[in-house]
Structure 1
Amino acid sequence: MKYILDANVLIEAKNRYYGFDICPGFWNWLDQQFAAGTIVSTVAIRDELLEHGDDLTEWAKSRSDFFPVLDADSLPHLQTLAVWVRAQQYRAAAVTEFLSSADYQLIATAMGNGYTMVTHEVPSDSVKRVKIPEPCIAHGVPVISPFVMLRRLGARFDLRTP
């Protein structure tokens, strides 16, 4: 199984659970998983991270391969998502925001490549914002939390020596 990461996975990790200064193992693990072809994100997410001007920005800058551009398999899904979101009950501003967001490209990439979406977002009934799980669920893209992904992939950040 392959996973695609939402920006909030990386931002929350940096800000809370796996700060660069307290858990460098998490970031090394991400590099290992990327090298193994297990996880990826998108250039649209990278662009979002570059706006922060912090340690995560520097991390993202040095890993352009981790954040590839939209590929040919993903492009048709942009239209599918656009049609879907316009047919829902979202407010016009929510639709406009979604269609200009990194999430739009992220979900299209997941659809085009058979990825499981990894995000902290949860489904919502709100008409004010399109959250990642709604279009994913509607289009058969599995959605899990980062902690489920870590467990599935057997991540271990153990300070003990073997």
Structure 2
Amino acid sequence: MKTPTDTIHHDEMTSPVGRLQLVADADGLRGIWFEHERDPLVIPPHWIRVTAAHASTPIAMARAQLTEYFAGKRRRFDLPLHPIGTPFQLEVWEELARIPYGVTISYADLATRIGRPRAMRAVGAANGRNPLPIIVPCHRVIGRDGSLTGFSGGVEIKRLLLDHERAAPAGDLFA
């Protein structure tokens, strides 16, 4: 017998960084894939495509909030998330979600923030497996020397996201 979390929904949206595939279950958004991902999403036939008419789904919420983000009207996301990962990955992803809009940190900083300063490579690997890019802002983690290193959507998309956040006007966007 299937449980609600066995039912996977998906849809796509256009964005300034290309087409995004959104995937969710009843518990929340599970993943976002870029159009030219290094590990592209293969949609199984049993997944259900949702449309804009399904306004209460995590996918519809994500679509709306991502649209606001790209329009410069949203700096934080507030929607149910359900990433699947190891306890260590979940710990790293939770810390990623705490990086403020427009701020970058290094992999070493991220490792220190989770109390594992020597685990930079493991933190980098967990960062690279983040299933919710943009919303869980792995693009805000850069090399210690300021270099833009690996990103599932490609370094150019990482640069575009960081430039987008730097260009946003100051002020209260949450009012």
Q: Do both proteins adopt the same fold according to a TM-score greater than 0.5, normalized to the shorter chain?
A: no
Where relative contact order (Cα < 8 A, 6+ residues apart) is larger, the structure is 1
Greater fraction of residues in strand: 2
Question: TM-score with structure 2 length normalisation?
Answer: 0.23
Question: TM-score with structure 1 length normalisation?
Answer: 0.24
Greater fraction of residues in helix: 1
